[in-house]
Each structure stands twice: as structure tokens, then as C-alpha cells.
Amino acid sequence: MKKARRESERLLERFLAEIGEDPRREGLRKTPQRVAEMYDVLTSGYRQDPRKILNDAVFNEKYSEMVIVRDIDFFSLCEHHLIPFFGRCHIAYIPNGRIVGLSKLPRLVEVFARRLQVQERMTQQIAETLDELLHPQGVAVVMEARHLCMIMRGVQKLNSVATTSAMLGVFRDDARTRTEFLKLINRPEA
């Protein structure tokens, strides 16, 4: 890891020089190190297995009504520009004999958010992982995010929000279940 980190720092120093900066000036001397450390954190999801995060907190339970955790804040990096996007994720599932510890749902979001991403894929990955491990009656994931690649460059629209969804099982097949979920996540905070 140390060798890879040194190489990253060297490349970042070269990048600073390429854009016309002096990487030796006082304000930039430690920038390559700081940026390399930052990217280690922002890409830590590659070093985590989402299945392992959930597995120690899956319990047999006869509960069969909708479980929702909403307003899960996240930050991720757009794989096209390496610029952040950030927002909130809402997750629901209807158990089929198995539940997961509620705190594991935000952790699952974090694992996938800490990778180079597109919002569409991340939404699907969260839903499919829950579906695979819990075998619930259905899973729903809705993500709302602001993309700095749209705000800082390109169209430069400050108030644009991208919304993506993944609906599996009864959330896909039953309009009433899907509507109930969407109403519940759009309620004012308690």
C-alpha cells in the first residue's frame, strides 16, 4: 500500500505541475499527500464486502410489513468526472421471514457510495444486495442527488436533483405497495 500511495502522490504532484502550478510552493507542498489520503477514504467501498456487512445482522423474524429507512445521507464520486454527487437514499423492504438490523442499511449505502459510481448503478446495487441476502417479498430504493458535474461544469444548473429508483418484487408488481412506499418517504420529518 505504501508503494501505491507514493505513486499516487507522485502523479498528483505531476498533475499540479501540468495545470501550471508549482507543487513545491508552501500551500501545495502537502496537497498530493492530502489528496491521496482523501481518495483512499472516498474509495474505501472497494475494500468492503456488502454481504459481510449485512450477514452478521440478519435475523429470523415473522414480521411481514414494510420496513423503511429514509433520508440516508450519502456522498459519492461520479465515475465520469471524479466530482462528488451527494444526496439522500430511501430504502424499504417487506420481510419474508428475515429482517436486517436497521443500522446496516445506511452502512450498505456507504459501501456502494464509497466507489466511483453512477447514481443509477448504485441504486440498483443496493436493491439487488438486499434482495439477494434477505429474499424479501420486495425491495424499493429511491435516491435523490445533486451532481457537482452538473452544477460546476456542463449545464451549470444549481438546483437540479436527479432521482433514481429500483423496485423489486411486490414494489414492482403491486402499484398500491409502491404508492404506499412513495407516500411514506415523502412525508414531512417526524
90-129 pLDDT per residue, tens: 999 999 999 999 999 999 999 999 999 999 999 999 999 9
Q: Indicate if 80 belongs to the active site.
A: yes
- The per-residue pLDDT for 30 is 96
Look at residue 67 and give its three-state secondary structure.
strand
Catalytic residue among 37, 128, 149, 180: 149
Return the CATH fold of 2-42: GTP Cyclohydrolase I; Chain A, domain 1 (1.10.286)
What would the mean pLDDT of 170-187 be, rounded to a whole number?
96
Going from N- to C-terminal start, the domains of the chain cover: 2-42, 52-185
What would the mean pLDDT of 24-35 be, rounded to a whole number?
95
Q: Indicate if 78 belongs to the active site.
A: yes
pTM: 0.93
Please state whether 71 falls in left (phi above 0), alpha (psi between -120 and 50) or beta: left
Q: Indicate if 89 belongs to the active site.
A: no
147-168 pLDDT per residue, tens: 998 888 878 888 889 999 999 9
| CATH class belonging to 52-185 | alpha beta
Q: Indicate if 33 belongs to the active site.
A: no
